Copies of this chain bind each other. A is one copy, B any other.
Amino acid sequence: MTTDNGGRPRAGRNRSRNRKNRVTVKDVAERAGVGTMTVSRALRSPDSVSAKLRERIEMAVADLGYVPNRLAGGLASSRTRTVPVIIPSLSNAVFPDIVEGISSVLQRHDLQILLGNTQYSLADEEALVSTFLSWSPDGVIITGLEHTERTRRMLAAADIPVVEIVEWGEAPIDMNVGLSHVAAGRTMGEYLIGQGYRRIAFVGPQMDRDVRAAKRLAGLRAALAAAGQEGGPALSLDRPSAVRAGGDAISQLLGEAPDIDAVFFANDDMAVGGLLECQRRGIAVPGTLAIAGFNGLEFSGEVMPRLTTILTPRHEIGRRAAEMLVTRLAGQPVAATRVDVGFTLLRRESA
């Protein structure tokens, strides 16, 4: 009977799970008595459709409970309103703050976040970037300036806005918002030296992986060298940043180098842990041992003595990165594509 359809069952009736009675543009178009194109346009740019039709279409959409299929839309247009956000960790309190900043502006512009956690591994990062790009994202936000060569190539080839965040520096792939961690480390070093400390130790978490912590140490050493000082030992813990880790570090340091008079911790949580450990041991802070941290987390200002630290504008980093992305997506020029948000030394009582 039928010609080219032959006797075959008419297309996939039960092709897969919930495919059965999905509402499509076609359904909406029929109900509104218009073409599918008009529906599509009415939904994306309502002004390009006459008021009458727009109204009819909106009613049909509501009646049918139509929700556009983003996969189909993305496939056809290669725009998905999606932004991968690639960070090294969530347990480091720094990153949830940044992601909140990003999220606050992206959600307002109807852009979805795809979250990727690299666990401080550049290989994992590369794999994530590859996967994410296969989603035709509208842009990418990625932590740091150090990536594998392939990661950089893929990102550059994607031809979409890319913002590298947290670290500020030379030759970003595209745009960059952050601060110089070397400068921050140097600033703290100079401050401690100025306060008269002479044997300054450093404690960082997994510094082979956490490049930025390593840069803060480099900054400290630069300050030490400039002052013609030797400093104290640098400890790289083999576990992530945490309060407990800071306490343990103090114990270890006191065993190995009892003559130190100050400790610069790469993160506030460790620093607070160190501070509390000193209190437990009855070591006077800063009298016997000064303690300094990094990041300016909220509770660093609530302990006693309050922690001397460097405040980093985390929410701002996220917000500005997202704003740059959105501006570029809107086709507008981004005034500054490399922004140094800086940092603030909080001189408090612990050092």
Contacts and interface: CB of A to CB of B under 8 A. Distances in A.
Contacts of A225: none
- Assembly of this chain: how many copies? 2
Interface stretch (A53-61, A130-138, A193-201, A259-267): A130-138
A302 interface: yes
Chain A interface size, as a band, is: 35 or more
A99 interface: yes
Contacts of A75: 69, 71-72, 75
Contact of A78 (B16, B68, B131, B243): B16
A91 B97 contact: yes
A229 interface: no
A131 B112 contact: yes
A244 B302 contact: yes
Leading 10 A-B pairs by shortest Cβ distance: A90-B96, A115-B115, A18-B159, A71-B75, A70-B134, A71-B74, A243-B299, A96-B96, A276-B302, A113-B115
Interface of A: 16-19, 67-72, 74-75, 77-80, 85, 90-91, 93, 95-97, 99-100, 103, 107, 112-117, 130-136, 157-160, 242-244, 247, 269, 272-273, 276, 279-280, 298-299, 302-304
